[in-house]
Amino acid sequence: MISINNLYKRFDQKVVVDDLTLTVDSGDRVAIIGPSGCGKSTLLKLITGLVPLDRGRVVLNSQTLTVDDYGDVPSTFLEQLGFLFQSSALFDSMTVKENVAFYHRETLQEQDESLINRVVRDKLAMVDMAGYENEMPSSLSGGQCKRIALARALAKDPKIMLYDEPTTGLDPFLSNNIENLIVDLSDTLKVTSLIITHQHSTIFRTAKKIYYMDDGKLIGPETPESILLSTHPKIREFFSAEVK
Protein backbone atom coordinates (compact mmCIF):
# COMPACT_ATOMS: atom_id res chain seq x y z
CA MET A 1 0.00 0.00 0.00
CA ILE A 2 1.14 3.53 -0.74
CA SER A 3 0.07 6.20 1.70
CA ILE A 4 1.09 9.79 1.02
CA ASN A 5 0.26 12.31 3.73
CA ASN A 6 0.29 16.08 3.32
CA LEU A 7 3.18 16.06 0.90
CA TYR A 8 4.53 19.53 0.12
CA LYS A 9 7.33 20.57 -2.22
CA ARG A 10 8.42 23.96 -3.45
CA PHE A 11 11.21 24.87 -5.89
CA ASP A 12 12.18 28.50 -5.17
CA GLN A 13 8.81 30.27 -5.18
CA LYS A 14 6.92 27.66 -7.23
CA VAL A 15 4.84 25.19 -5.26
CA VAL A 16 5.00 21.91 -7.19
CA VAL A 17 3.23 19.58 -4.75
CA ASP A 18 0.81 21.27 -2.40
CA ASP A 19 -0.29 19.40 0.71
CA LEU A 20 -1.04 16.30 -1.34
CA THR A 21 -2.62 13.23 0.21
CA LEU A 22 -3.14 9.95 -1.64
CA THR A 23 -3.70 6.32 -0.75
CA VAL A 24 -3.18 3.47 -3.18
CA ASP A 25 -4.40 0.10 -1.91
CA SER A 26 -2.33 -3.05 -2.27
CA GLY A 27 -2.57 -4.53 -5.77
CA ASP A 28 -4.37 -1.47 -7.11
CA ARG A 29 -3.40 0.34 -10.34
CA VAL A 30 -3.68 4.09 -10.09
CA ALA A 31 -2.86 6.58 -12.83
CA ILE A 32 -1.99 10.21 -12.22
CA ILE A 33 -2.57 12.30 -15.28
CA GLY A 34 -2.08 15.91 -16.11
CA PRO A 35 -0.32 18.22 -18.53
CA SER A 36 3.47 18.31 -18.83
CA GLY A 37 5.12 20.31 -16.06
CA CYS A 38 2.28 19.90 -13.56
CA GLY A 39 4.55 18.07 -11.09
CA LYS A 40 3.69 14.43 -11.81
CA SER A 41 7.28 13.26 -12.19
CA THR A 42 8.35 15.31 -9.17
CA LEU A 43 5.67 13.53 -7.16
CA LEU A 44 7.22 10.16 -8.10
CA LYS A 45 10.68 11.41 -7.16
CA LEU A 46 9.32 12.61 -3.82
CA ILE A 47 7.75 9.21 -3.17
CA THR A 48 11.09 7.48 -3.84
CA GLY A 49 13.18 9.95 -1.85
CA LEU A 50 15.13 11.07 -4.93
CA VAL A 51 13.95 14.62 -4.24
CA PRO A 52 13.82 15.82 -0.62
CA LEU A 53 10.40 16.41 0.93
CA ASP A 54 9.72 19.87 2.34
CA ARG A 55 6.87 18.53 4.45
CA GLY A 56 4.73 15.42 4.83
CA ARG A 57 5.54 11.74 4.74
CA VAL A 58 5.30 8.69 2.51
CA VAL A 59 4.43 5.25 3.87
CA LEU A 60 5.03 2.15 1.75
CA ASN A 61 3.69 -0.99 3.44
CA SER A 62 4.60 0.28 6.93
CA GLN A 63 8.00 1.71 5.90
CA THR A 64 8.03 5.47 6.36
CA LEU A 65 9.92 8.19 4.50
CA THR A 66 10.06 11.60 6.18
CA VAL A 67 11.75 14.95 5.67
CA ASP A 68 14.79 13.74 7.64
CA ASP A 69 15.48 10.75 5.39
CA TYR A 70 16.74 12.59 2.31
CA GLY A 71 20.19 11.41 1.28
CA ASP A 72 19.85 8.35 3.47
CA VAL A 73 16.65 6.65 2.37
CA PRO A 74 16.26 3.45 4.40
CA SER A 75 17.13 0.35 2.36
CA THR A 76 13.99 -1.37 3.67
CA PHE A 77 12.00 1.43 2.05
CA LEU A 78 13.82 1.19 -1.30
CA GLU A 79 13.64 -2.63 -1.37
CA GLN A 80 9.91 -2.46 -1.93
CA LEU A 81 10.10 -0.11 -4.87
CA GLY A 82 10.48 -0.78 -8.57
CA PHE A 83 10.73 2.23 -10.85
CA LEU A 84 10.40 2.45 -14.62
CA PHE A 85 11.97 5.68 -15.84
CA GLN A 86 10.67 7.60 -18.81
CA SER A 87 14.19 7.42 -20.29
CA SER A 88 14.60 3.72 -19.31
CA ALA A 89 17.85 4.74 -17.54
CA LEU A 90 19.64 1.51 -18.45
CA PHE A 91 23.34 1.50 -17.55
CA ASP A 92 24.77 2.00 -20.99
CA SER A 93 28.20 0.58 -20.18
CA MET A 94 26.64 -2.75 -19.16
CA THR A 95 25.02 -5.54 -21.15
CA VAL A 96 21.35 -6.40 -20.77
CA LYS A 97 22.27 -9.28 -18.49
CA GLU A 98 24.46 -7.08 -16.28
CA ASN A 99 21.66 -4.52 -16.05
CA VAL A 100 19.08 -7.07 -14.96
CA ALA A 101 21.55 -8.82 -12.63
CA PHE A 102 22.67 -5.53 -11.07
CA TYR A 103 20.51 -5.65 -7.96
CA HIS A 104 21.49 -9.20 -7.05
CA ARG A 105 25.14 -8.86 -7.98
CA GLU A 106 25.94 -5.39 -6.67
CA THR A 107 23.36 -4.54 -4.02
CA LEU A 108 22.72 -7.96 -2.50
CA GLN A 109 26.31 -9.05 -3.28
CA GLU A 110 24.94 -12.41 -4.39
CA GLN A 111 27.77 -14.85 -5.15
CA ASP A 112 25.68 -17.69 -6.58
CA GLU A 113 25.96 -17.22 -10.36
CA SER A 114 23.34 -19.88 -11.08
CA LEU A 115 20.80 -17.95 -8.99
CA ILE A 116 21.69 -14.72 -10.80
CA ASN A 117 21.38 -16.44 -14.18
CA ARG A 118 17.99 -17.81 -13.20
CA VAL A 119 16.74 -14.38 -12.11
CA VAL A 120 17.95 -12.81 -15.37
CA ARG A 121 16.37 -15.57 -17.45
CA ASP A 122 13.03 -15.37 -15.62
CA LYS A 123 12.76 -11.60 -15.68
CA LEU A 124 13.72 -11.33 -19.34
CA ALA A 125 11.17 -14.01 -20.18
CA MET A 126 8.53 -12.03 -18.27
CA VAL A 127 9.06 -9.02 -20.51
CA ASP A 128 9.48 -11.17 -23.63
CA MET A 129 13.14 -10.30 -24.10
CA ALA A 130 14.76 -13.71 -23.68
CA GLY A 131 17.88 -14.11 -25.80
CA TYR A 132 18.98 -10.49 -25.50
CA GLU A 133 21.31 -11.09 -22.52
CA ASN A 134 24.51 -10.09 -24.29
CA GLU A 135 23.17 -7.06 -26.16
CA MET A 136 24.24 -3.54 -25.19
CA PRO A 137 21.43 -1.04 -24.51
CA SER A 138 22.68 1.15 -27.37
CA SER A 139 21.78 -1.60 -29.86
CA LEU A 140 18.16 -1.84 -28.67
CA SER A 141 15.07 0.12 -29.70
CA GLY A 142 13.24 2.43 -27.30
CA GLY A 143 10.55 -0.15 -26.61
CA GLN A 144 13.11 -2.90 -26.00
CA CYS A 145 15.01 -0.64 -23.59
CA LYS A 146 11.77 0.00 -21.70
CA ARG A 147 11.17 -3.73 -21.38
CA ILE A 148 14.72 -4.38 -20.19
CA ALA A 149 14.35 -1.53 -17.68
CA LEU A 150 11.14 -3.16 -16.50
CA ALA A 151 12.94 -6.50 -16.13
CA ARG A 152 15.66 -4.77 -14.09
CA ALA A 153 13.04 -3.18 -11.84
CA LEU A 154 11.28 -6.53 -11.43
CA ALA A 155 14.53 -8.24 -10.45
CA LYS A 156 14.02 -6.65 -7.02
CA ASP A 157 10.67 -8.44 -6.71
CA PRO A 158 9.11 -5.13 -5.74
CA LYS A 159 5.79 -4.89 -3.98
CA ILE A 160 5.21 -1.48 -5.51
CA MET A 161 5.92 -0.39 -9.08
CA LEU A 162 6.14 3.26 -10.09
CA TYR A 163 5.94 4.04 -13.79
CA ASP A 164 7.05 7.44 -15.07
CA GLU A 165 5.53 8.06 -18.50
CA PRO A 166 6.00 4.39 -19.47
CA THR A 167 4.73 4.76 -23.04
CA THR A 168 5.73 8.29 -23.97
CA GLY A 169 7.67 8.37 -27.22
CA LEU A 170 6.73 4.81 -28.23
CA ASP A 171 4.71 3.86 -31.28
CA PRO A 172 1.18 2.46 -30.72
CA PHE A 173 2.32 -1.17 -31.01
CA LEU A 174 5.08 -0.79 -28.44
CA SER A 175 2.80 1.27 -26.19
CA ASN A 176 0.25 -1.48 -26.34
CA ASN A 177 2.93 -4.00 -25.47
CA ILE A 178 4.14 -2.06 -22.42
CA GLU A 179 0.55 -1.40 -21.26
CA ASN A 180 -0.21 -5.13 -21.44
CA LEU A 181 2.92 -5.83 -19.43
CA ILE A 182 1.90 -3.36 -16.71
CA VAL A 183 -1.52 -4.97 -16.41
CA ASP A 184 -0.15 -8.54 -16.51
CA LEU A 185 2.46 -7.84 -13.86
CA SER A 186 -0.08 -6.20 -11.62
CA ASP A 187 -2.54 -9.09 -12.04
CA THR A 188 -0.07 -11.96 -11.78
CA LEU A 189 2.37 -10.59 -9.19
CA LYS A 190 -0.19 -8.50 -7.26
CA VAL A 191 2.10 -5.49 -7.49
CA THR A 192 0.70 -2.11 -6.44
CA SER A 193 1.14 0.21 -9.43
CA LEU A 194 1.29 3.97 -9.65
CA ILE A 195 1.43 5.19 -13.23
CA ILE A 196 2.28 8.72 -14.24
CA THR A 197 1.19 9.43 -17.78
CA HIS A 198 -0.51 11.79 -20.15
CA GLN A 199 -1.02 9.16 -22.86
CA HIS A 200 -4.68 8.55 -23.51
CA SER A 201 -4.35 4.84 -24.28
CA THR A 202 -2.18 4.14 -21.24
CA ILE A 203 -4.69 5.77 -18.92
CA PHE A 204 -7.59 3.70 -20.13
CA ARG A 205 -5.76 0.41 -20.63
CA THR A 206 -3.91 0.29 -17.33
CA ALA A 207 -5.64 2.28 -14.61
CA LYS A 208 -8.40 1.21 -12.26
CA LYS A 209 -8.46 4.66 -10.64
CA ILE A 210 -7.41 7.96 -12.15
CA TYR A 211 -6.38 11.23 -10.50
CA TYR A 212 -5.85 14.48 -12.32
CA MET A 213 -2.98 16.62 -11.05
CA ASP A 214 -3.35 20.36 -11.15
CA ASP A 215 -1.43 23.08 -9.30
CA GLY A 216 0.21 20.48 -7.10
CA LYS A 217 -3.09 18.98 -5.96
CA LEU A 218 -4.94 15.86 -7.01
CA ILE A 219 -8.48 15.87 -8.35
CA GLY A 220 -10.37 12.58 -8.15
CA PRO A 221 -10.42 9.65 -7.97
CA GLU A 222 -12.28 8.82 -11.12
CA THR A 223 -12.67 5.52 -12.93
CA PRO A 224 -11.80 5.11 -16.63
CA GLU A 225 -15.54 5.17 -17.28
CA SER A 226 -16.39 8.18 -15.14
CA ILE A 227 -13.50 10.44 -16.04
CA LEU A 228 -14.79 11.09 -19.56
CA LEU A 229 -18.05 12.27 -18.03
CA SER A 230 -16.32 14.52 -15.49
CA THR A 231 -17.60 18.07 -15.34
CA HIS A 232 -14.33 19.44 -13.94
CA PRO A 233 -13.19 22.03 -16.49
CA LYS A 234 -9.48 21.08 -16.29
CA ILE A 235 -10.24 17.38 -16.87
CA ARG A 236 -12.57 18.18 -19.75
CA GLU A 237 -9.95 20.46 -21.24
CA PHE A 238 -7.24 17.76 -20.84
CA PHE A 239 -9.26 15.12 -22.67
CA SER A 240 -10.61 17.42 -25.35
CA ALA A 241 -7.04 18.59 -26.05
CA GLU A 242 -5.91 14.96 -26.31
CA VAL A 243 -8.73 14.19 -28.76
CA LYS A 244 -7.98 17.29 -30.87
Considering the rule CB under 8 A, would residue 215 count as an interface residue with other proteins? no
Nearer to other proteins, 103 or 238 (CB): 103
- Cβ atoms of residues 9 and 54 within 8 Å: yes
Q: Which amino acid makes up residue 87?
A: S
Q: How far apart are the first and last CA of the chain?
A: 36
Closer of 66 and 91 to other proteins (Cβ): 91
The Cα 218–Cα 39 span in angstroms is: 11
Closest CB to other proteins among residues 87, 117: 87
Going by C-alpha positions, the residue among 169, 12, 39 that lies closest to residue 178 is 169
Query: How many residues bind other proteins, per CB under 8 A?
Result: 23
15: Cβ contacts below 8 Å, ≥ 6 apart = 8, 9, 215, 216
Q: Where does this chain touch other proteins (CB under 8 A) — which range of 103-111, 176-184, 188-196, 214-222?
A: 103-111
Q: Does 212 engage in binding with other proteins (CB under 8 A)?
A: no
Query: What does the chain come to in residues?
Result: 244
Q: How far is the CB of 126 from other proteins (least distance, A)?
A: 18
**What distance in Å separates the CA atoms of residue 59 and residue 68, rounded to the nearest whole number?**
14
> Is residue 195 a contact partner of residue 29, using CB atoms and an 8 Å limit?
yes
Strand partners, 148: none
Which of 150/218 has CB closer to other proteins? 150
Residue among 53, 102, 161, 205 that touches other proteins (CB under 8 A): 102
Of 123-162, which residues contact other proteins (CB under 8 A)?
152, 156
Cα 106 to Cα 94: distance, rounded to the nearest angstrom: 13
Q: How far is the CB of 139 from other proteins (least distance, A)?
A: 16
Site for other proteins in 49-78 (CB under 8 A): 50, 73, 75, 78
Binding site for other proteins (CB under 8 A): 45, 48, 50, 73, 75, 78-79, 81, 83, 85-87, 89-93, 102-103, 106-107, 152, 156
